[in-house]
Amino acid sequence: MTSDHALAGQVAVVTGASAGIGAATCRALAAAGAIVLAVARDTSRLAAVVQACSTQAPAPEARSLVADVRSAAAVAAIAGTALDAWGRIDILVCCAGILAAAGGGPAPVASLPVAHWDEVIATNLRGTYLANRAVLPTMVAQGRGQIVNVASVAGLAGHAYESAYCASKAAVIGMTEALAAEAAPHGVRVQALVPGAVDTTIWDQAGLIPRPRHMLGPERVAAAILGLVRLPDSATLGTALMAPAGAPEQARAR
């Protein structure tokens, strides 16, 4: 793949970078010539992602940062790390997300442990807020920048036994819309991508809930994220829905 004019040399931060959509997005950004800061909790899986980035054709620089998006201090360090290394931040893609708490699984609201609710909200919603917040002063000062937050169709239509996940993803869309309005006057574009079911390890957290028959590959979602970032400055998709073709039930938007 040849270097992409729009993305070559751009500094991109990706959270949830060690697996699934995040890892695929790191590889796609690197293949388009972007400099990647891959952020996740798992050191060894991050190293593999950085390695994969470095084998993409233009081989731009890629680094990893071990951070838990639930920690305000750890997330605040993202901006400093990128600025120290490259002096700016052009792109943030927030992919860090969980379906259920560690050791938890699908559960009715009535018996979902409060700590499990808190863990999902802390990762998916608060983590996205913290990461957005961490890069915004830089982007505003630059007068340009863009953010893509990965939500889910579960944020458009709630499903049983996934209340915390549905609440978190709906809330990410709300936050993204509010921020898009705030940041636009500063030249910062904020969009949400709303994928249907994606074939990633997140389904390992789904317990007895069967995997959907039609799922998007994470590389398809990564391509959509790059499509959002490559949009001309004068355009935005706002909240973009992407679902596997042939599976209309995945995309039952209101």
Partner 1 sequence: MTALAGRVGIVTGGASGIGRATAVALAGEGAQVVVADVVRDGLDATVAAVAEVAPAGAGAYPVVADVGAEADAAGLAGAAVERYGRIDVLVAAAGILRAPGSPPRTLWATAPDEWDAVIATNLRGTFLCDRAVLDTMIGQRSGSIVNISSVSGRVGRAYDSAYCASKFGVIGLSESLREEVQQYNVRVNVVLPDAVATPFWDQNGPLPRPAAALDPARVADLIVYLVTLPEDTILLDPVIAPFRSRRRRRAPAEREEH
Active site residues: 165
Q: Edge-to-edge strand order for the sheet containing 11-15?
A: 62-66, 35-40, 11-15, 91-94, 145-150, 188-195, 239-242
Binding mask 104-123 for partner 1 (x = CB under 8 A): ----xxx-x-x--xx--x--
Q: How many residues bind partner 1 (CB under 8 A)?
A: 46
Is residue 34 a contact point for partner 1 (CB under 8 A)? no
Segment near partner 1 (CB under 8 A); pick from 1-9, 27-35, 55-63, 103-111: 103-111
List the one residue from 16, 94, 146, 169 that touches partner 1 (CB under 8 A): 169
* Cβ–Cβ < 8 Å for 132, 69: no
Is residue 208 a contact point for partner 1 (CB under 8 A)? no
Is residue 57 a contact point for partner 1 (CB under 8 A)? no
Nearer to partner 1, 59 or 178 (CB): 178
Is residue 161 a contact point for partner 1 (CB under 8 A)? yes
Cα(first)–Cα(last) distance of the chain, in Å? 38
- Distance in Å, CB of 186 to partner 1, minimum: 9
Is residue 83 a contact point for partner 1 (CB under 8 A)? no
Nearer to partner 1, 25 or 132 (CB): 132
* Cβ–Cβ < 8 Å for 61, 43: no
Would you give the distance in Å from CA 137 to the centre of its chain? 19
Is residue 177 a contact point for partner 1 (CB under 8 A)? yes
Q: Which amino acid is at 131?
A: A
Number of Cβ atoms within 10 Å of the Cβ of 60: 23
CA gyration radius, the chain: 17
- Distance in Å, CB of 187 to partner 1, minimum: 14
Q: Please give the full DSSP string across 39-107, using - where no structure is assigned.
A: EES-HHHHHHHHHHHHTSTT---EEEEE--TT-HHHHHHHHHHHHHHHS---EEEE----SS-TT----
Is residue 245 a contact point for partner 1 (CB under 8 A)? no
